Amino acid sequence: MNEPLPFDIAARFIERSRHYLCVEYPAKIAAALRTVPPDLLWWRPNETSNSAGNLVLHLNGNVRQWVLAGIGGHPDLRRRDIEFAARGGAECETLLAGLSTTCAEVDAILARLTASQLGEPRSIQGRETTVFAALYHVVEHFSGHTGQIILLAKSLTPGAVRFYDDTGGLARPLFLADGAQDVD
């Protein structure tokens, strides 16, 4: 017979989702974005690609729609087309402040989320899903665009983006605020 898991898997899933969406990914985005020169924040590699600025707008819109509206029941005011159409706009710190505000609201919703709610149905972007699937999607989606922002920043500012101290063969996070954990 299998031994029970030493922790509540649903609670652990919610906790790790909160960590990625509200701590790790935003910290990496902020560290990367702050290396990008202001005149390159809205630069696109080509017309079918997005700038770092567009990607931050898009993440903000996506998380607001999927978590705040879809899971939390807030009104869905998203205009997805505007996220990608922008060719300029807010400066780095303004974009990061908007993302930070959204992440704080997301964290408040996820802090109240219970294991029994994970199976509840939701309709988001015209798709029938569950709270669990919506949250899983948002974490995955946020991760992918975080990687794109990092790649853009590393391409535009070679050597300026560094997330870990590898002294002694251990990858110690440099991007986390004091006291934040990067372990399972």
Could you tell me if 154 and 161 are in contact, meaning their C-beta atoms sit under 8 angstroms apart? yes
Say whether pLDDT at 7 is over 80: no
Q: Which residues contact 157 (CB under 8 A, 6 or more apart)?
A: 35, 36, 37
Q: Where are the alpha helices (DSSP H) in 34-68?
A: 52-63
| 130-181: pLDDT as tens digits | 999 999 999 999 999 999 999 999 999 999 999 888 888 888 888 876 545 5
The structure's pTM equals 0.90
Model pLDDT, residue 178: 55
Say whether pLDDT at 5 is over 70: no
Class of 9-173 in CATH: mainly alpha
Query: How is the chain split into domains, by residue range?
Result: 9-173
User: Quick one: tokens of 15?
Assistant: 């906790």
| 103-122: pLDDT as tens digits | 999 999 999 999 999 999 99
Query: How large a percentage of the chain has pLDDT more than 90?
Result: 78
